[in-house]
Amino acid sequence: MELEKLIKTIEPEDAAARVAAHAHWNSCAKPLGGLGLLETALEDIAALTGSADIDIRERAVLVLCADNGVVCQGVTQSPSSVTAIVTENLAARRTSVCHMARTADCRVVPVDMGVLDFPGVPGVLSHRVGNGTADIAVGPAMTRAQAEQAVLTGIELVREQMEQGVKLLATGEMGIGNTTPSSAVASVLLERPVEEMTGRGAGLSNEGLTRKIAVIEQALACNQPDRNDILDVLSKVGGFDIAGMCGVFLGGALYRVPVLIDGFISAVAALCALRLCPAAGKAMLASHVSAEPAGHLVLEALGKQPLITAGMHLGEGTGAVAAMPLLDMACAVYHGCYTFDDGGIEAYQPLGASQ
């Protein structure tokens, strides 16, 4: 299996580079750990890349677009046709993430992973795994081969971006109904009740939420995904976008490109990557905690703390892109702040250190 071979080449993080980045932070004339998670994030990047000389100026957000057959079960407010409309607007640079990315000096890269009946438009990369997934309420979303293809596509996307000089990636997605397979996957992997892992998505009514929960329970009963086999879970109750983002996180670890987790859907994909390869966690940075009910639970399972708590649940990679300026400001201090020696100041000592 090609995927299995690639995963075996992912190495652990570089502990020496982490130590060097931490020492550099401690030499800056400021309270030790004063920038909190921003300091940790840069140390994580150093440990991933193997260098304490951190550069994240070239960046892109990969927005993986795909449709979900389960929409026919009435789990969303909008029809599947909206996925194609938003995908076209991503290419036209009109959507929310496009405006945010412009401010963050970030390229937007829409990718068609399986938008229903999508003819293709300039500005959208075509990596179609299928013409939307099947309805998980009555059978598997896709074949196992398709699930592996989607994951491998995500890995390949990272390689392509790395070769173009990208130093920081964000994960984004667009697909009507994709919180339904995300909740299904999360319920399986975290072994928690469906109702605990399921939210209103883009704004379901109480009746709609009840129907969504019932559909996911039906999908799990029908497909019986094996939580110990990630490709089985993805193929039975996942989506092309989720599987593709899983590959992006694996690719980040393989090619040493840090990848920002976006919201709930992206975090579920990250959890799939972590279960496939624990070393993949070294490439993951948590941007924000989603307003979806299970958002914080998935981040806890990943062992990641979010940089932002803003109640966001828009998708498209907006939360991940929102974190980029924070990382830029951290880099500005990391590279530019004067040191204790420069200022003639006695260096701070860690609390509890011997005098």
* CA–CA gap between residue 272 and residue 186 (Å, rounded): 9
* CA–CA gap between residue 140 and residue 153 (Å, rounded): 20
Cβ distance 71 to 86 under 8 Å? no
Strands (E), the chain: 59-66, 107-114, 125-126, 168-174, 259-261, 284-286
Cβ distance 286 to 271 under 8 Å? no
Residues facing residue 161 across a β-bridge:
none
Cβ distance 205 to 219 under 8 Å? no
Please say if 2 is a catalytic residue. no
Q: What is the DSSP letter of 129?
A: S
Q: Which of 13, 292, 316, 346 is catalytic?
A: 316
Q: Which residue has the tokens 């109480």?
A: 206
Cβ distance 202 to 136 under 8 Å? no
Task: Catalogue the active-site residues.
Answer: 316
